[in-house]
Structure 1
């Protein structure tokens, strides 16, 4: 399997090993646009790999902080009580860059920037760049993706 994230279309596509489109979902990438610098709040471009799969078996809406479940489930009441919180929900696919100097090592290292593909509250719109750098998906979509990929799956993020 292979993942392609198109920042300009705000779309994530999952391809089979033979190159056929398996699934496709709308996403939300960075509000600050594409970019690789640490602290930029941008979505990094280029070739990546899934470094870790986090959240297998957790309930839909499970809240993660520091890649650990907090014991909370994000519902409408919790979301309304903390609307500015950086919500990372349900599943996490932690990305690592494959291109030294572009998205790996030093000040541009995707993994050290904690860039994920992850779930988010249903109130967050898809198809618009609004994240702090990560790739947000609907919770049921991120579960469907999570179940089809493994550590080592390649991810291409392009404009």
Structure 2
């Protein structure tokens, strides 16, 4: 299994037991590996943690823990600027020392995830705070296919 995220195309492709392609939304500010940049880090990564198995669609996470809430349209409207993390989390760790691993460029310590987002959020265009956002149904489908340690390449 291998995931390729294209920043240029705003897509995530899963290769392995058949190919799947999903629209995504990466960082509004573009690519950047530095801590505090809100950019999506480039390079080779792996899935270091899988969070949310079995939770309902729209499950709200706070600090990588299920809050007990399911996102409602009213909640989303009340907090339009919030970067909602929903349904599932695939937490990425960088594999390239000095590029996306270690120091102020560490993807894992930056909390870079592939995660669900409210379905009204745009896909196919950069809009996130650094993570890779997906539709809830898509992130659940991906999560169910991807093992811990799955290789992830983020390319321009």
Question: For this structure pair, what is the TM-score category when the shorter chain's length is used for normalisation?
Answer: over 0.9
Match of 1:126 among 115, 119, 123: 123
RMSD, matched Cα: 0.8
Distance 2:83 2:27 in 1: 13
- Structure 1 alignment gaps of length 5 or more: none
Structure 2 residues without counterparts, runs of 5 or longer? none
4+ residue stretches of structure 1 with deviation over 2 A? none
Q: Which residue of 1 aligns with 2:6?
A: 6
Equivalent in the alignment of 2:140 = 143
Give the 5 Å matches for 1:1-40: 1-16=1-16, 22-40=19-37
Q: Map residues 36-115 of structure 1 onto 2, 5 A cutoff.
A: 36-115=33-112
Query: How many pairs align?
Result: 156
The aligned counterpart of 1:158 is 155
TM-score by length of 1: 0.96
The C-alpha deviation readout for 1:33-86, integer Å capped at 9, x for no partner, is: 001000000000000000000000000000001100111111211101111112
CA distance in 1 between counterparts of 2:16 and 2:66 reads: 31
**Equivalent residue of 1:93, what SS?**
strand
